[in-house]
Amino acid sequence: MKIRIFAVSLLFVAFALLLGTSTQAQVVKGEIKVAGAQFTGNPIPPTWKCDYIVVQAISREQVGSGGSGVSLKSPKWQRQAKATGSWSSGSCSYSVKVEANSFFHVQLQTAIGCNVTSTPKEATGIKVAAGATKSQNFKVDAMDCYPPPK
């Protein structure tokens, strides 16, 4: 009886450890310098907000298959988050949860129909260990806005 209780206790401990490691969050975060960004196109929003910028993390690993000479592969995972902060301060920040030990790249987009030119254009080859955080900063060089489709 004591051996059975001991075995069940070990199973509970192993399960708790497994849950503990699977819930650790991996994060890529950073600052986005927006001061001095050039704006072109039409229409240009009258006021800019940090949450107009969407930061996207995309896995390098692809899934799917390519039958009949057509590749139907797509990234294994994608995550995104809106930037936060005050545009008038000249800097926004972001934080995106990502998969552990998986190579990915990070890029800036907008939620309002503008193309972003940034330095770097995209950050590639990033990998975050379980429970760790990596920093990747960007600078917005230009926003080219265009009218929405009719």
Q: What is the pLDDT of residues 76-130, one digit of tens each?
A: 999 999 999 999 999 999 999 999 999 999 999 998 888 999 999 999 999 999 9
Of 9-23, 59-73, 132-146, give the lowest mean pLDDT range.
9-23
CATH code for the domain of 131: 2.60.40
Residue 111 lies in a domain: yes
Residue 128 lies in a domain: yes
Residue 91 lies in a domain: yes
| Residue 6 pLDDT > 70 | no
For 150, the token pair is: 């009719």
Domain that holds residue 79: 25-145
Residue 7 lies in a domain: no
Closest alpha carbon to 107 in 115, 99, 50: 115
DSSP state of 1: -
Residue 19 lies in a domain: no
pLDDT value for 113: 82
Specify whether the backbone of 101 is left (phi greater than 0), alpha (psi in -120 to 50) or beta: left
112 within 8 A of 54, measured Cβ to Cβ: no
Residue 10 lies in a domain: no
Q: Could you read off the pLDDT of 14-53 as tens digits, one per residue?
A: 444 444 444 568 999 999 999 999 988 876 677 889 999 9
DSSP state of 149: P
Could you report how far apart the first and last alpha carbons of the chain are, in Å? 74
Tell me if the bond preceding 120 is cis, omega within 30° of 0.
yes
Residue 12 lies in a domain: no
Number of domains in the chain: 1
Position 128: which residue type?
V
**What angle is formed at CA 18 by the lines to CA 134 and CA 96, rounded to 5 degrees?**
25
Residue 97 lies in a domain: yes
